[in-house]
Amino acid sequence: MLKKKLIFIGGTVVLVLMCILVTLHSPRYQAAKLLDMDLPDLPRPVDAQVMDNHGVWFGDGELYGKLTFDQSNGAALEERLAEHDGWEKLPLPENVTLLLYGGEKDGIHYVSPLADGWGSPTVTEGYYYFLDRLHDRKDDALLLNDSAINVTIAIYDSQQAVLYFMTYDT
């Protein structure tokens, strides 16, 4: 009888730990953590994708995520983003645009495959989140001046109800 109780308790503990582990690695949880949002503030997506290629070499690499929402959850998310301090209305700042999509500035041609990693179209309506983690700043003033880049970027596409997010570490 005691053996059955111990097996039941052990099985329950393992099941609870597995549930916690799955939750902590869910795309929704990762997005909430990266984008400085509480999980209840982030509605449930209908589709979620995350790809992380951070290697073991000093943690360099990229993490790309894409959360697709239905129209009602997308509208609810957009309302929350409009009220959140870390989110701004599009368009993206110039240096962030150069980092994501490439372009030319001050005679320097920037070629960047970053937006290709998440399959993000150029979004014209919505909100963005930017954090320069190297300098702990929310503006892009120092972004292109350093030899290392550690950023978190997110774009919410209001028309498609899609949230793209990424981290990039060099």
84 CB burial (10 A radius; 0-12, 13-18, 19+): middle
Give residue 147's identity as a one-letter amino acid code.
S
pLDDT tens over the chain, length 170 residues: 677 766 656 556 555 545 444 444 466 666 666 777 765 566 777 887 777 676 656 667 788 888 888 888 888 889 888 988 889 999 999 988 888 888 888 888 877 767 666 666 788 899 999 998 888 888 888 888 777 888 889 899 999 999 898 888 87
pTM recorded for the entire structure: 0.76
| Cα separation, 168 vs 106, whole angstroms | 24
**What is the per-residue DSSP string for the chain?**
-HHHHHHHHHHHHHHHHHHHHHHHTSHHHHHHHHTT--GGGSPPPSEEEEEE---SSTT-EEEEEEEE--HHHHHHHHHHHHH-TTEEESSPPHHHHHHHH-EEETTEEE---HHHHHT-----SEEEEEEETTTTBSS-TTTTTSS--EEEEEEEETTTTEEEEEEEE-
The pLDDT score that the predictor gives to residue 38 is 66
Question: Which pair of structure tokens corresponds to residue 144?
Answer: 């292109």
| Cα separation, 144 vs 47, whole angstroms | 33
**What order do you get walking across the sheet with 61-68 strand by strand?**
47-52, 61-68, 162-169, 150-157, 126-132, 87-89
What number of residues does the chain have? 170
